[in-house]
Amino acid sequence: MGLAADSMKRGKAVAGCLGEICKGFRDFLLRGNVVDMAVGIVVGSAFTALVNAFVSDFITPLIGAIWGGGNFNDLTFSINGSLFYYGHFINTFLTFLIVCLVVYFAVVVPMNKLLKKVHPAYFQQKRPGGCPFCCDADVPYKATRCKHCCAELPPLAAAELAELESEENEGDELVTGPPKGAKVAKDQAV
């Protein structure tokens, strides 16, 4: 073999290796969770801009009108010639607070209600102290064996068991609708 044939052979090997790397990278990018995350970041930044405009254009002028000031964003104080823009900080803090409230009430609360309906074991009360053998803290209180080490768990005291059951049943009315035995009109049936 000549030098040219040897170089072509090496070039094909390198191209094949790069092709595999590019294919793997393409598969990674087109995986569902990466695309979902990218969409979430774009929507989140747009939502943050919307809330920021709402706070700076409606909320803080309202606060400025109540306090009798002008532009709330220009409120400052000075120490030794250094200006501190506390109005801008309050705008940013209110934006953060509103975004947190919206995310909590529009995403977290509905998701928890849905999870509790679909997968009630996710919210089941945990055994105090977890498994005494493998130290796993994620053991349901009704379990008789640990799901990780399969050790037989000692029974809980009656008072402790009753307390855990009552805590587990407290939130049921919020999720499942009317209490058991309650009459619901036919046009209001779920």
Tokens standing for residue 50: 């919307």
Range scoring the smallest mean pLDDT among 65-74, 109-118, 169-178? 169-178
- pTM value is 0.50
pLDDT tens sequence across 61-70: 887 788 776 6
Structural domain contains residue 30: yes
Please tell me the predicted confidence (pLDDT) of residue 41: 92
Q: Are residues 111 and 49 in the same domain?
A: yes
* Alpha-carbon span 48 to 181, nearest angstrom: 45
Write down the pLDDT at residue 182.
Answer: 43
Distance, CA of 152 to CA of 7 (rounded, Å): 67
Residues 22 and 89 in one domain: yes
pLDDT at position 181: 45
Question: What range defines the domain where residue 146 resides?
Answer: 124-169
CA dihedral sign, ordered 60, 62, 68, 70: positive
In this structure, are 70 and 94 located in the same domain? yes
Which pair of tokens denotes residue 43? Answer: 């929507």
Range picked from 24-33, 34-43, 66-75, 121-130 for highest mean pLDDT: 34-43
CA–CA distance, 120 with 114 (Å, rounded to integer): 9
Give the type of residue at 167.
E
Residue 178 pLDDT exceeds 60: no
What whole-number percentage of the chain has pLDDT above 70? 73
Query: Which of 66, 50, 59 lies closest to 94, judged by CA?
Result: 59
Max intra-chain CA distance, the chain: 91
Lowest mean pLDDT segment, chosen from 73-82, 83-92, 106-115, 131-140: 131-140
Residues 101 and 22 in one domain: yes
Residue 181 placed within a domain: no
Element (H, E) at 143: none
The type of residue at 59 is I
Same-domain pairing of 140 and 52: no
Classify residue 46: in a domain, yes or no.
Answer: yes
**Predicted pLDDT at 66:** 81
Please state, in angstroms and rounded to a whole number, the distance separating the CA atoms of residues 188 and 186: 5
